[in-house]
A and B are shown apart, each in its own frame.
Chain A
Amino acid sequence: MRLFRRRSDAPLWRDEFSVFTAEERYVNRRQFTKFLTLTSFGMLIGNLWILARSLFYRASAYSAQTIAAAGEVPIGGVKLFAYPTSQDPCILIRTGAESFAAYSQKCTHLSCAVYYAKEQNRLECPCHQGFFSVTDGSVIQGPPQRPLPRVTVAINDGRIQATGVDEGEGA
């Protein structure tokens, strides 16, 4: 059984480009419906691509990278760095005498650079007023739907090191 039948034995162009006004209304609608169906197929391909990425997901391996000396950043101060590649801007915040927090600097809404607002003790995206918690990177307010990816840090021999990224999960 053929799913897509030719309407007649006439040449294809007669089917697709009718010269009769009454038939043209049908041709236009059929072609538009075909376009919508192909768009639907495109959406399905998108979902299948996400499925393939999920099924073949492999957790990334991260190497340790020194960000700064422990005394280099004052309490409430920040240091910008790139991790795990030079294309991934991150922000380190010293939240206490011995506590640090680091996050990707890309807002999860539209990738604007977030900055630390010391007075409010939160990370703010200036583009669309998205606010994130310094504690766990979760969304406090605004259009972002996902928390900031958290960069795990460790202090070794007086140096602050980035050791990995909690992708998408925030805390």
Chain B
Amino acid sequence: MNGNPPQNRGLTAIDGAMVLIVVLLIVQIWLLSATLESFLAGHREAAIPGAIISGLLFLACLGLYLFVDRVDSEIRKG
């Protein structure tokens, strides 16, 4: 049983995606600060995994944004 109208279901999906992006962003901010701290301490080997993981997190955020864009598009088209 689902009495939630499609408009609100779209909003719920978008809200869920936004929360996921925020979580990913927090991880990415922590990663940047940790990599910078490590770099300044002279441990330059941490830069490569830091950049790769940051790139993956960005791709995940971009994917979620495209999802939000598509849901928005479909709902507003009716």
Contact = CB atoms under 8 A, between A and B. Distances in A.
Contacts of B77: 7-8
Tell me the dominant secondary structure on chain A's binding face: helix
B1 interface: no
Given A30-B72, A33-B65, A36-B21, A167 B42 contact: yes
Given A47-B32, A168-B42, A33 B55 contact: no
Contacts, number: 122
A23 B50 CA distance: 39
Interface of B: 7, 10-11, 14-15, 17-18, 21-22, 24-25, 28-29, 31-32, 35-37, 39-42, 44-45, 47-48, 50-51, 54-55, 57-58, 61-62, 64-66, 68-69, 72-73, 75-77
Nearest to B57: A40
Interface residues of A, number: 38
